[in-house]
Structure 1
């Protein structure tokens, strides 16, 4: 992104680590004035670089012990079937992410469940009822090696 300089990249990198940083603390860490920091912060929100703020939760502590990666292949690819598929997926709080992909599957989903019975119920009640689905392949996570939503801002801004 041409609109992101080194200070902006550092600003958003700090916010990714701690989204609760005050403008005063952020300005101090960036060695800029609070007014300048506030203006940059506001501009990054307006540009859509900063989309929002949220707490990072521990899924296991909340009872989400099963994490599944689900490959879905569809037989119907028309606009209406795809729109209905996407509407149902977007409405499901169990689906953490959904990507339209290249390769064998049309979609790759990340799904959370309490346990295997709960996941099985989700497959039966939601995924098998999706329009035009011909194949559902699940891969269950045995151990999470790395999970982050933090983007390599400074590396991307150099590209």
Structure 2
């Protein structure tokens, strides 16, 4: 896809704020024809700029009282061990995100659990059994001050 213009950025930004925004309403807000707005919107999806849509759920209201940030250090980095590690993490619904990082730890995970007992069981039954993992360090969130998936599009595209 070519570079995004101001209209593409505006479409992406508005859909990021409200993924349920209708094409008619979006076109009206941006002073575009519905056909033009729809074509741009589809192009953003097809190019992968827009990957999908989802509802933002309140984890606490759904029983997810504990949010943990887990640093994993590995001693084995072979292709086989790494592939098995990645497959297990991908399949684990409690792991909200996993990043291969620089610094002391090799991976940083964000994990949700019902309570501390539930998290403790997850550590014993899943994390301690991960291949190649030599160290697990958990930080439990005491208070969430900010949580968002919204990207600062305009700031990222400044050249």
Q: So what's the TM-score if we normalise by structure 2?
A: 0.98
Partners in 2 of 1:147 and 1:2 — Cα distance?
31
Partners in 1 of 2:4 and 2:122 — Cα distance?
42
Q: List alignment gaps of at least 5 residues for structure 1.
A: none
**Mapping 1:121-132, distance limit 5 Å:** 121-132=121-132
SS class of match (1:158) = coil
Partner in structure 2 of residue 92 of structure 1:
92
Aligned length: 159
Shift of 1:40: 0.1
Over the aligned positions, Cα root-mean-square deviation in angstroms equals 0.9
Partners in 1 of 2:89 and 2:31 — Cα distance?
44
Partners in 1 of 2:23 and 2:39 — Cα distance?
10
Q: So what's the TM-score if we normalise by structure 1?
A: 0.98
Cα offsets for 1:48-77 (capped at 9, x unmatched) = 000011000000000001000000000000
Higher RCO, 1 or 2 (CA under 8 Å, sep at least 6)? 1
Partners in 2 of 1:132 and 1:20 — Cα distance?
43
SS class of match (1:68) = strand
8 A contact 1:71–1:107 mirrored in 2: yes
SS class of match (1:12) = helix
Shift of 1:3: 2.1
Q: List alignment gaps of at least 5 residues for structure 2.
A: none
